[in-house]
């Protein structure tokens, strides 16, 4: 009795396939027309939006800020996340479940609520400024609203929980016995990390880092609320172009640039990993 599973797949494939192709085609196609104001667009295809993007320093700067903040957020997420993931993955007691629960809740609570908490924490008379001014480190209230630091911190709150979960599953695939073997043979903790854990986890970590980077590139909420109308990343600019300027074609162009940038960076990263693997710099 054989079930033809490929037919089971078909309806889902058609639904998702149509949604992908239709939605992507519409805005990509729209990006080649000129905005005539009030949401109307011109009737002949032109590159005018793309030319504007790549000649206007404001747009180019926005693209650069988007890439920069996303990259910084990804790096810091890895630095903060890896030790935690390692701790939970290697814990033998039931406390690991509690620690894990903390991470999962932080992942599931919507980023708007977390940003809300951050704003309260960093407000002029908030806890952090009270402490900082109390011990005299700063004499003016320090703020993260409206600057790039804030955007990076916001992005990290968006990605950190997810990043820890990703890294946790990567570390779980590395047998504990390998680390024990290294230590029995007299390797120090540091040496064990550098020579055993790091090379073994590197492929998984790179994939995870790429996913975190992708998430950050598309993240709208933290950048919009913590950027405070002063720091623009591409997602924020896309929303403003649609909602305030009602320029659908220009927004389509911005979205297309964002999409292609993300794809290119991913392809580049995969290519680099392949090269490193071929050169035996990365195992597995």
Partner 1 sequence: MAIDKSKQTLSHSSMDMVTRLAARRPVGPPPKRGLPWGKYFHYFFCSLSYIFLLSPMIVVIGASLHGGEYYTAIKFPPDEPSLQWYWKIPKGQLEALGLSFGLAGLTALGACIIGIPAALGIVRGKIPGKTLISAVFRAPLQIPAIVTGIAFLQLYYLFGDATGLYFQGTFLGLYIGHLFVATPYVVGTVTAILQRFDTRLEEASFSLGASKLSTFRRVTLPVIMPGVYAGALYAFMVSFGDVPISIFLTAPGFVTYPIELFYGMENDFDPSILASASLVIFFCLLVLLGMQKLVGLDTLLRSGSR
The residues in 2-21 that bind partner 1, with binding defined as CB under 8 A, are: 3-13, 15-17, 19-20
The neighbour count for residue 150, using CB atoms within 10 Å, is 25
List CB contacts of 178: < 8 A, sequence separation 6 or more: 196, 200
For partner 1, the binding residue among 37, 186, 283, 284 (CB under 8 A) is: 186
64-83: contacts with partner 1 (CB under 8 A): 80-81, 83
Quick one: 194 or 281, whose CB is closer to partner 1?
194
Range 219-258, binding partner 1 (CB under 8 A)? 219-221, 224-225, 234-235, 238-239, 242-243, 248, 251-252, 255, 258
* Nearest residue to 39 (alpha-carbon basis) of 240, 237, 234, 242: 242
What is d(CA 157, CA 114) in angstroms, rounded to the nearest whole number?
Answer: 7
Instruction: Output 178 or 281, the one with its CB closest to partner 1.
Output: 178
Instruction: Give yes or no for residue 151 binding partner 1 (CB under 8 A).
Output: no
CA distances from 113 to 13, 120, 145, 239 (A): 35, 11, 15, 20
58: contact with partner 1 by CB under 8 A: no
Q: Are 152 and 72 in contact (CB under 8 A)?
A: yes
42 lies in the site for partner 1, by CB under 8 A:
no
**Does 280 interact with partner 1 (rule: CB under 8 A)?**
no
30 binds partner 1 (CB under 8 A): yes
Q: 266: Cβ–Cβ under 8 A, 6 or more apart, which residues? A: 210, 214
Applying CB under 8 A, which of residues 63, 65, 111, 144 lies at the interface with partner 1?
Answer: 111
């Amino acid at each position: 009795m054989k079930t033809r599973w490929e037919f089971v797949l078909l309806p889902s494939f058609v639904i998702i396939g149509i949604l992908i192709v239709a939605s992507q085609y519409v805005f990509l196609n729209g990006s080649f027309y000129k905005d005539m104001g009030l949401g109307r667009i011109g009737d002949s295809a032109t590159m005018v939006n793309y030319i504007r993007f790549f000649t206007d320093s404001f747009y180019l700067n926005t693209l650069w800020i988007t890439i920069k903040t996303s990259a910084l957020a990804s790096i810091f997420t890895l630095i903060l996340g890896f030790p935690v993931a390692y701790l939970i993955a290697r814990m033998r007691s039931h406390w690991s479940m509690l620690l894990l629960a903390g991470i999962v809740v932080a992942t599931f609570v919507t980023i708007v609520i977390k940003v809300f908490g951050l704003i309260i924490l960093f407000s002029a008379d908030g806890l952090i400024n009270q402490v900082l001014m109390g011990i005299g480190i700063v004499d003016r209230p320090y703020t993260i609203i409206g600057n790039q630091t804030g955007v990076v911190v916001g992005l990290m709150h968006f990605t950190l929980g997810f990043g820890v979960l990703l890294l946790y599953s990567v570390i779980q695939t590395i047998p504990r016995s390998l680390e024990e073997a290294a230590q029995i043979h007299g390797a120090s903790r540091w040496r064990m990390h550098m020579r055993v854990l790091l090379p073994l986890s590197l492929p998984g970590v790179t994939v995870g880092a790429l996913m975190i980077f992708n998430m950050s590139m598309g993240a709208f909420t933290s950048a919009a609320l913590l950027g405070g109308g002063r720091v623009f990343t591409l997602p924020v600019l896309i929303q403003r172009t649609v909602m305030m300027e009602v320029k659908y074609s220009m927004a389509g162009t911005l979205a297309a640039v964002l999409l292609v940038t993300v794809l290119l960076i991913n392809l580049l990263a995969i290519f680099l990993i392949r090269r490193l693997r071929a050169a035996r710099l990365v195992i597995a």
